[in-house]
Structure 1
């Protein structure tokens, strides 16, 4: 395996700040010039055909409808007093208000609340809706570290898996249309690391090397086995989930989402990622010797 510096450029680091919750976060983005280079507007003319055909688009709409129906049914079971306060948070101010309104509901109806929380989180992950980092912070604020991490890791893994299977079914034209260069790069990296693919997936999940959104969508296209994807996601998202959930305990003191990931935190994440790929690096060294 190549050394980590060959996997990510320094400009790719900001992906974590916008994408970590689409991975536990989770969530997706791009890094600096790479995002502009691989954007549809940079790569494709505006008149190019939409990537989905009628059948693929129908499947996407059908899955979206099923998720939406489940969420609507859960919403109908909520007390009337709480319904007016439900909305997806987009800022820390929104999140603080939502936390205040939901604290009593979460205490009085824990099963209903967790069902609604999990369904919303998985729905957002499946359809690449930004904002799961706020859901992770909310888990810490309402449930504490241990239960919060369990919720976040479960939902982030389930949502990533759901996105994986949806992409396996209809995602190839979309990923090829949006990120043709990144897809070719990722496919080449996966091909070189087939013997230690689990270690590489761990590295990708722990570090901000590639956006979690892109990993979820591209993995089935480049033939990453689901069990490797699942285990790498489940274990690899724990460090980021811990950081986010811990921050949720002091939600009132948090000034910006970017405060979650300073240089020290990013250094620790890369250190953990380096440990994950160390067996592969040592194996390559022995081969070259």
Structure 2
């Protein structure tokens, strides 16, 4: 199965860039097609939601570029609340698939080779992994796709990964969907993450780390 899965994933990624599909995942393309996308949603609400979620899941599972544009599109097409719900479901599902693929393909290899060096980190993640992952989801320090793949190489539990991702990306989904609802005023995805927004995310992230920090402090007390 591994001999089939890896080439298949690689083929899908290569096809994405070969056909230059990322040209559809730009602010310009979203603005140009906004009216037609909204019109389609008004007449085919269920199919529009299903297609959007499927595209978002595939993009995230394959670690392709375009997540920020898709989150903006969710707000622009479905509105802030429904857009955030669809984006959250899709991003969490896609991230979980990427996590599972990484774990299935590479976890055993990495653990066998670096298991002793990673033991302390694995132990910490098994005990307080939810707080650490929640912090990483709330504070966009590392790329979203990189966290998905790296987490799969550790002993972090699947349910911990799933729920920390589900909860941790809610603020970001709301921010991007709210910006997408006012699409005309957005020139780039980077514009959404203003210093004020990033500071708010950092504050939320610091609260997520409190249980982990307290646990380490309590363990070290004489």
TM-score, structure 1 as length reference = 0.65
Change (3 A) 1:190 1:203: farther
Q: What residue in structure 2 maps to residue 274 of structure 1? A: 206
- 2-structure distance, mates of 1:88, 1:132: 13
Q: Which residue among 117, 120, 133 is the counterpart of 2:52?
A: 117
- 1-structure distance, mates of 2:181, 2:53: 19
Q: How many residues align?
A: 211
Residue 195 (structure 1) aligned with residue 127 (structure 2): yes
Change (3 A) 1:108 1:234: same
Q: Which residue among 172, 195, 207 is the counterpart of 1:240?
A: 172
Q: Secondary structure at the residue paired with 1:219? A: helix
1:91 Cα deviation after fit: 2.3
Q: Which residue among 214, 220, 226 is the counterpart of 2:158?
A: 226
TM-score, structure 2 as length reference = 0.83
- 2-structure distance, mates of 1:59, 1:193: 28
Q: What residue in structure 2 maps to residue 48 of structure 1? A: none
- Which runs of 5 or more structure 2 residues have no equivalent in the other structure? 13-20
- 1-structure distance, mates of 2:71, 2:118: 28
- 1-structure distance, mates of 2:46, 2:147: 31
Contact kept, 8 Å, 1:139 with 1:248, in 2: the verdict is yes
Contact kept, 8 Å, 1:171 with 1:217, in 2: the verdict is no
Q: What residue in structure 2 maps to residue 9 of structure 1? A: none
Change (3 A) 1:116 1:282: same
Q: What residue in structure 2 maps to residue 140 of structure 1? A: 75
Which shows bigger deviation, 271-280 or 163-172? 163-172
**After superposition, where does 1:99-110 map in structure 2 within 5 Å?**
99-110=34-45
Contact kept, 8 Å, 1:89 with 1:98, in 2: the verdict is no
Q: Secondary structure at the residue paired with 2:142? A: coil
Give per-residue Cα distances to partners, 1:239-280, cap 9 Å, x unaligned: 111110010011100122111112111111111011011122
Q: What residue in structure 2 maps to residue 256 of structure 1? A: 188
- 1-structure distance, mates of 2:61, 2:34: 24
Q: What residue in structure 2 maps to residue 127 of structure 1? A: 62
Contact kept, 8 Å, 1:137 with 1:245, in 2: the verdict is yes
Q: What residue in structure 2 maps to residue 163 of structure 1? A: 98
1:150 Cα deviation after fit: 0.5
1:191 Cα deviation after fit: 3.4
Higher RCO (C-alpha under 8 Å, 6+ residues apart): 1
1:87 Cα deviation after fit: 7.8
1:99 Cα deviation after fit: 1.6
1:168 Cα deviation after fit: 1.8
Q: What residue in structure 2 maps to residue 69 of structure 1? A: none
- 2-structure distance, mates of 1:195, 1:267: 28
- 1-structure distance, mates of 2:40, 2:182: 20
After superposition, the CA RMSD in angstroms is 2.9
- Which runs of 5 or more structure 1 residues have no equivalent in the other structure? 1-54, 67-85
Which protein has the bigger helix share? 2
